Protein backbone atom coordinates (compact mmCIF):
# COMPACT_ATOMS: atom_id res chain seq x y z
CA UNK A 1 0.00 0.00 0.00
CA UNK A 2 2.82 2.35 0.92
CA UNK A 3 4.56 1.55 -2.38
CA UNK A 4 1.37 2.24 -4.33
CA UNK A 5 0.87 5.53 -2.43
CA UNK A 6 4.43 6.65 -3.15
CA UNK A 7 4.01 5.90 -6.86
CA UNK A 8 0.69 7.75 -6.98
CA UNK A 9 2.12 10.84 -5.29
CA UNK A 10 5.12 10.74 -7.61
CA UNK A 11 2.87 10.60 -10.65
CA UNK A 12 0.66 13.35 -9.27
CA UNK A 13 3.65 15.61 -8.65
CA UNK A 14 4.84 14.98 -12.19
CA UNK A 15 1.42 15.87 -13.55
CA UNK A 16 1.49 19.19 -11.71
CA UNK A 17 5.02 20.02 -12.81
CA UNK A 18 4.58 19.14 -16.49
CA UNK A 19 2.51 22.20 -17.53
CA UNK A 20 5.05 24.58 -15.97
CA UNK A 21 7.93 22.84 -17.72
CA UNK A 22 5.99 22.77 -20.99
CA UNK A 23 5.08 26.47 -20.77
CA UNK A 24 8.68 27.41 -20.10
CA UNK A 25 10.02 25.25 -22.91
CA UNK A 26 7.30 26.54 -25.24
CA UNK A 27 8.19 30.16 -24.43
CA UNK A 28 11.85 29.40 -25.14
CA UNK A 29 10.96 28.19 -28.64
CA UNK A 30 8.42 30.97 -29.33
CA UNK A 31 7.89 31.96 -32.06
CA UNK A 32 8.19 28.80 -34.11
CA UNK A 33 6.18 30.20 -37.04
CA UNK A 34 5.28 33.63 -38.49
CA UNK A 35 3.32 36.05 -36.28
CA UNK A 36 0.38 38.17 -37.52
CA UNK A 37 0.71 41.87 -36.67
CA UNK A 38 -2.75 43.36 -37.21
CA UNK A 39 -3.09 47.07 -38.05
CA UNK A 40 -6.44 48.86 -38.04
CA UNK A 41 -5.56 51.25 -40.87
CA UNK A 42 -4.82 50.99 -44.61
CA UNK A 43 -1.42 50.31 -46.14
CA UNK A 44 0.61 53.50 -46.41
CA UNK A 45 -1.01 55.08 -43.35
CA UNK A 46 1.41 56.30 -40.65
CA UNK A 47 0.31 53.43 -38.40
CA UNK A 48 1.02 50.93 -41.16
CA UNK A 49 4.46 52.41 -41.82
CA UNK A 50 5.37 52.21 -38.14
CA UNK A 51 4.04 48.65 -37.80
CA UNK A 52 6.08 47.46 -40.79
CA UNK A 53 9.23 49.16 -39.49
CA UNK A 54 8.82 47.67 -36.02
CA UNK A 55 7.84 44.31 -37.46
CA UNK A 56 10.97 44.21 -39.61
CA UNK A 57 13.27 44.77 -36.65
CA UNK A 58 11.41 42.39 -34.35
CA UNK A 59 11.45 39.72 -37.05
CA UNK A 60 15.23 39.81 -37.03
CA UNK A 61 15.39 39.54 -33.24
CA UNK A 62 12.77 36.79 -32.95
CA UNK A 63 13.90 34.73 -35.93
CA UNK A 64 10.39 34.65 -37.42
CA UNK A 65 8.50 37.09 -39.62
CA UNK A 66 5.99 39.51 -38.13
CA UNK A 67 3.56 39.74 -41.02
CA UNK A 68 1.63 43.03 -41.13
CA UNK A 69 -2.06 42.48 -41.81
CA UNK A 70 -4.19 45.56 -42.55
CA UNK A 71 -7.78 45.39 -41.28
CA UNK A 72 -9.04 48.99 -41.59
CA UNK A 73 -12.46 50.20 -40.56
CA UNK A 74 -14.57 51.50 -37.67
CA UNK A 75 -11.76 53.62 -36.25
CA UNK A 76 -9.54 50.59 -35.68
CA UNK A 77 -12.24 48.55 -33.94
CA UNK A 78 -12.39 45.87 -36.65
CA UNK A 79 -8.72 45.06 -36.13
CA UNK A 80 -9.05 45.15 -32.35
CA UNK A 81 -12.00 42.74 -32.35
CA UNK A 82 -10.16 40.36 -34.68
CA UNK A 83 -7.27 40.16 -32.21
CA UNK A 84 -9.60 39.89 -29.20
CA UNK A 85 -11.18 36.80 -30.83
CA UNK A 86 -7.84 35.22 -31.82
CA UNK A 87 -6.25 32.36 -29.87
CA UNK A 88 -4.13 33.74 -26.99
CA UNK A 89 -0.96 32.02 -28.15
CA UNK A 90 1.24 34.96 -29.12
CA UNK A 91 0.78 34.44 -32.86
CA UNK A 92 -1.71 37.29 -33.34
CA UNK A 93 -0.69 40.75 -32.17
CA UNK A 94 -2.31 44.18 -32.49
CA UNK A 95 -0.77 47.55 -33.14
CA UNK A 96 -2.42 49.51 -30.31
CA UNK A 97 -2.53 53.28 -30.37
CA UNK A 98 -4.15 56.40 -28.97
CA UNK A 99 -7.35 55.75 -30.92
CA UNK A 100 -7.99 52.52 -29.01
CA UNK A 101 -7.99 54.43 -25.72
CA UNK A 102 -10.41 57.00 -27.17
CA UNK A 103 -12.72 54.40 -28.73
CA UNK A 104 -13.49 52.94 -25.30
CA UNK A 105 -15.61 56.06 -24.66
CA UNK A 106 -16.62 56.98 -28.21
CA UNK A 107 -18.31 53.68 -29.04
CA UNK A 108 -21.06 52.49 -26.71
CA UNK A 109 -21.86 49.24 -28.52
CA UNK A 110 -18.48 47.57 -28.97
CA UNK A 111 -18.49 43.78 -28.75
CA UNK A 112 -15.35 43.83 -26.65
CA UNK A 113 -13.77 45.76 -23.79
CA UNK A 114 -10.33 46.96 -24.85
CA UNK A 115 -8.97 47.27 -21.31
CA UNK A 116 -10.25 43.83 -20.35
CA UNK A 117 -9.70 41.87 -23.57
CA UNK A 118 -6.33 43.14 -24.85
CA UNK A 119 -3.16 42.46 -22.87
CA UNK A 120 -0.59 45.29 -23.15
CA UNK A 121 2.67 43.79 -24.40
CA UNK A 122 5.08 46.65 -25.13
CA UNK A 123 5.04 50.34 -25.93
CA UNK A 124 6.88 51.51 -29.02
CA UNK A 125 6.91 55.28 -29.37
CA UNK A 126 5.30 58.66 -28.97
CA UNK A 127 4.15 60.54 -32.05
CA UNK A 128 4.21 64.30 -31.31
CA UNK A 129 1.52 66.48 -32.88
CA UNK A 130 1.72 70.09 -34.01
CA UNK A 131 -0.79 72.93 -34.10
CA UNK A 132 -0.40 74.40 -37.59
CA UNK A 133 -2.17 77.17 -39.48
CA UNK A 134 -2.28 78.31 -43.07
CA UNK A 135 0.36 81.02 -43.72
CA UNK A 136 -2.32 83.62 -44.51
CA UNK A 137 -3.80 83.30 -41.02
CA UNK A 138 -3.28 86.61 -39.18
CA UNK A 139 -2.07 85.16 -35.85
CA UNK A 140 1.65 84.44 -35.54
CA UNK A 141 1.59 82.97 -32.01
CA UNK A 142 -0.70 80.88 -29.80
CA UNK A 143 -1.77 83.86 -27.62
CA UNK A 144 -2.57 85.84 -30.77
CA UNK A 145 -4.51 82.86 -32.16
CA UNK A 146 -6.58 82.58 -28.98
CA UNK A 147 -7.28 86.32 -28.95
CA UNK A 148 -8.34 86.21 -32.60
CA UNK A 149 -10.57 83.18 -32.00
CA UNK A 150 -12.31 84.90 -29.09
CA UNK A 151 -12.85 88.01 -31.18
CA UNK A 152 -14.16 85.94 -34.10
CA UNK A 153 -16.17 83.09 -32.57
CA UNK A 154 -17.23 80.41 -35.04
CA UNK A 155 -15.16 81.86 -37.88
CA UNK A 156 -12.11 79.60 -37.66
CA UNK A 157 -12.38 76.16 -39.26
CA UNK A 158 -10.47 73.32 -37.58
CA UNK A 159 -9.72 70.35 -39.82
CA UNK A 160 -9.42 66.75 -38.66
CA UNK A 161 -8.99 63.32 -40.17
CA UNK A 162 -12.40 62.29 -38.85
CA UNK A 163 -14.76 62.51 -35.89
CA UNK A 164 -13.36 61.08 -32.68
CA UNK A 165 -9.77 60.56 -33.84
CA UNK A 166 -6.74 62.24 -32.25
CA UNK A 167 -6.69 65.10 -34.77
CA UNK A 168 -10.23 65.91 -33.61
CA UNK A 169 -9.98 65.19 -29.88
CA UNK A 170 -6.63 66.99 -29.47
CA UNK A 171 -8.28 70.03 -31.03
CA UNK A 172 -11.27 69.74 -28.71
CA UNK A 173 -8.92 69.73 -25.73
CA UNK A 174 -7.44 72.97 -27.06
CA UNK A 175 -10.90 74.49 -27.46
CA UNK A 176 -11.80 73.63 -23.86
CA UNK A 177 -8.47 74.84 -22.45
CA UNK A 178 -8.41 78.07 -24.46
CA UNK A 179 -12.13 78.82 -24.37
CA UNK A 180 -12.04 79.11 -28.17
CA UNK A 181 -14.99 78.57 -30.48
CA UNK A 182 -13.64 76.70 -33.52
CA UNK A 183 -15.74 74.97 -36.17
CA UNK A 184 -14.78 71.33 -36.57
CA UNK A 185 -14.51 70.15 -40.19
CA UNK A 186 -13.89 66.38 -40.42
CA UNK A 187 -12.40 64.87 -43.57
CA UNK A 188 -12.63 61.33 -44.90
CA UNK A 189 -9.63 61.93 -47.12
CA UNK A 190 -6.70 64.31 -46.73
CA UNK A 191 -7.37 67.72 -45.22
CA UNK A 192 -4.00 69.06 -46.40
CA UNK A 193 -5.14 70.56 -49.75
CA UNK A 194 -7.87 72.62 -48.06
CA UNK A 195 -5.49 73.64 -45.27
CA UNK A 196 -2.94 74.83 -47.82
CA UNK A 197 -5.69 76.62 -49.72
CA UNK A 198 -7.11 78.32 -46.62
CA UNK A 199 -10.57 76.70 -46.68
CA UNK A 200 -9.73 75.43 -43.19
CA UNK A 201 -7.35 77.46 -41.05
CA UNK A 202 -5.95 75.24 -38.29
CA UNK A 203 -5.22 71.60 -37.57
CA UNK A 204 -3.74 69.48 -34.78
CA UNK A 205 -1.90 66.74 -36.65
CA UNK A 206 1.17 64.49 -36.40
CA UNK A 207 4.41 66.32 -37.04
CA UNK A 208 5.25 63.54 -39.49
CA UNK A 209 2.31 64.50 -41.72
CA UNK A 210 3.06 68.22 -41.83
CA UNK A 211 6.78 68.73 -41.28
CA UNK A 212 7.62 68.99 -45.01
CA UNK A 213 4.99 71.73 -45.48
CA UNK A 214 6.23 73.54 -42.37
CA UNK A 215 9.84 73.46 -43.55
CA UNK A 216 8.76 74.74 -46.97
CA UNK A 217 6.84 77.62 -45.29
CA UNK A 218 3.57 76.35 -46.77
CA UNK A 219 2.21 75.97 -43.22
CA UNK A 220 3.06 77.80 -40.00
CA UNK A 221 3.65 75.81 -36.83
CA UNK A 222 2.36 77.64 -33.74
CA UNK A 223 3.04 74.98 -31.12
CA UNK A 224 3.66 71.29 -30.48
CA UNK A 225 1.21 69.37 -28.33
CA UNK A 226 3.85 67.64 -26.21
CA UNK A 227 4.91 68.86 -22.74
CA UNK A 228 8.38 69.74 -24.04
CA UNK A 229 9.80 70.85 -27.37
CA UNK A 230 10.20 68.33 -30.16
CA UNK A 231 13.58 67.58 -31.69
CA UNK A 232 11.86 67.62 -35.09
CA UNK A 233 10.72 71.25 -34.55
CA UNK A 234 13.09 72.62 -31.89
CA UNK A 235 12.09 76.26 -32.45
CA UNK A 236 8.37 75.62 -31.88
CA UNK A 237 7.12 76.00 -28.28
CA UNK A 238 4.82 73.52 -26.52
CA UNK A 239 1.16 74.47 -26.08
CA UNK A 240 1.60 73.96 -22.35
CA UNK A 241 3.68 77.16 -22.26
CA UNK A 242 0.46 79.06 -22.99
CA UNK A 243 -2.18 76.65 -21.68
CA UNK A 244 -0.77 75.11 -18.48
CA UNK A 245 -1.45 71.39 -18.28
CA UNK A 246 -2.13 70.94 -21.98
CA UNK A 247 -0.46 67.78 -23.26
CA UNK A 248 -1.62 65.50 -26.05
CA UNK A 249 0.55 62.80 -27.54
CA UNK A 250 -0.08 60.14 -30.12
CA UNK A 251 1.43 56.78 -29.16
CA UNK A 252 1.88 53.26 -30.45
CA UNK A 253 2.46 49.88 -28.87
CA UNK A 254 1.79 46.17 -29.14
CA UNK A 255 -1.16 44.26 -27.66
CA UNK A 256 -2.19 40.60 -27.58
CA UNK A 257 -5.37 38.68 -26.74
CA UNK A 258 -6.11 38.38 -23.03
CA UNK A 259 -4.73 35.11 -21.71
CA UNK A 260 -1.55 35.17 -23.78
CA UNK A 261 1.14 33.43 -21.68
CA UNK A 262 3.14 35.78 -19.48
CA UNK A 263 6.36 34.18 -20.74
CA UNK A 264 5.49 35.14 -24.31
CA UNK A 265 4.53 38.70 -23.33
CA UNK A 266 7.78 39.07 -21.40
CA UNK A 267 9.80 37.82 -24.37
CA UNK A 268 8.08 40.22 -26.78
CA UNK A 269 8.54 43.11 -24.34
CA UNK A 270 12.22 42.29 -23.92
CA UNK A 271 12.87 42.18 -27.66
CA UNK A 272 10.84 45.33 -28.32
CA UNK A 273 12.76 47.21 -25.63
CA UNK A 274 16.04 46.02 -27.13
CA UNK A 275 14.86 47.23 -30.55
CA UNK A 276 14.02 50.66 -29.14
CA UNK A 277 17.54 50.91 -27.75
CA UNK A 278 19.16 50.32 -31.13
CA UNK A 279 20.69 53.51 -32.50
CA UNK A 280 19.69 52.70 -36.08
CA UNK A 281 16.07 52.05 -35.10
CA UNK A 282 16.00 55.31 -33.11
CA UNK A 283 17.24 57.13 -36.20
CA UNK A 284 14.46 55.57 -38.30
CA UNK A 285 11.88 56.67 -35.73
CA UNK A 286 13.36 60.17 -35.73
CA UNK A 287 12.87 60.28 -39.51
CA UNK A 288 9.17 59.69 -38.82
CA UNK A 289 9.08 62.39 -36.15
CA UNK A 290 8.59 59.75 -33.46
CA UNK A 291 10.30 59.26 -30.09
CA UNK A 292 11.02 55.84 -28.48
CA UNK A 293 8.84 55.09 -25.44
CA UNK A 294 10.15 51.91 -23.76
CA UNK A 295 8.05 50.54 -20.88
CA UNK A 296 7.46 47.25 -19.13
CA UNK A 297 4.15 45.59 -19.94
CA UNK A 298 2.83 46.63 -16.50
CA UNK A 299 3.88 50.24 -17.05
CA UNK A 300 2.27 50.22 -20.47
CA UNK A 301 -0.97 48.90 -18.94
CA UNK A 302 -0.98 51.79 -16.45
CA UNK A 303 -0.23 54.28 -19.21
CA UNK A 304 -3.13 53.02 -21.35
CA UNK A 305 -5.49 53.22 -18.37
CA UNK A 306 -4.46 56.81 -17.70
CA UNK A 307 -4.86 57.76 -21.36
CA UNK A 308 -8.30 56.13 -21.50
CA UNK A 309 -9.49 58.12 -18.47
CA UNK A 310 -7.99 61.37 -19.75
CA UNK A 311 -9.60 61.23 -23.18
CA UNK A 312 -12.89 60.01 -21.75
CA UNK A 313 -13.13 63.29 -19.83
CA UNK A 314 -12.39 65.34 -22.95
CA UNK A 315 -14.82 63.36 -25.14
CA UNK A 316 -17.62 63.73 -22.61
CA UNK A 317 -16.95 67.42 -21.98
CA UNK A 318 -16.89 68.15 -25.72
CA UNK A 319 -19.91 65.85 -26.26
CA UNK A 320 -18.20 64.09 -29.16
CA UNK A 321 -20.38 61.50 -30.89
CA UNK A 322 -19.32 59.18 -33.70
CA UNK A 323 -21.67 58.95 -36.67
Tell me which fold the domain 35-126+249-318 belongs to. Answer: D-Maltodextrin-Binding Protein; domain 2 (3.40.190)
| pTM of the predicted structure, to 2 decimals | 0.86
Q: How high is the pLDDT of residue 17?
A: 46
SS3 assignment, position 233: strand
Bridge partners of 230, per DSSP, are: 233
CATH 3.40.50.2000 fits 128-241, yes or no: no
Does residue 12 register a pLDDT over 60? no
The beta-strand segments (E) located in the chain are: 35-39, 66-70, 92-97, 118-133, 156-160, 182-186, 202-206, 220-224, 249-257, 291-292
Give Cα 28 to chain centroid, integer Å: 29
Assign 129 a pLDDT band (cuts: 50, 70, 90): very high
Does residue 22 register a pLDDT over 60? no
Q: Span 59-82, mean pLDDT?
A: 95
**Fold: same for 35-126+249-318 and 128-241:** yes
166 contacts: CB under 8 Å, gap ≥ 6: 98, 99, 102, 129, 204, 248, 250
Q: How high is the pLDDT of residue 25?
A: 57
Q: How high is the pLDDT of residue 10?
A: 46
Q: Where along the chain do its domains lie?
A: 35-126+249-318, 128-241
Question: Model confidence over 298-323: pLDDT tens digits?
Answer: 999 999 999 999 999 999 999 998 86
Q: How high is the pLDDT of residue 21?
A: 45
Q: How high is the pLDDT of residue 26?
A: 54
Does residue 109 register a pLDDT over 90? no
SS3 assignment, position 148: helix
Q: Give the chain's mean pLDDT.
A: 91
Amino acid sequence: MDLFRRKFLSLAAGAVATPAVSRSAWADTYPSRPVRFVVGYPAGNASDVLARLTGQWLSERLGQNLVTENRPGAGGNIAAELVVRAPPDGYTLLLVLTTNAMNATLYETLKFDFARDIAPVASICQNPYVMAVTPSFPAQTVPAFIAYAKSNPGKINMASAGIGGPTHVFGELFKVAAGADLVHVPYRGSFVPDLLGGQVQVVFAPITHLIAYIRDKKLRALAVTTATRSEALPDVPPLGDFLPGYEAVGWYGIGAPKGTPVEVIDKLNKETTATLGDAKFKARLADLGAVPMPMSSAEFATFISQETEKWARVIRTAKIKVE
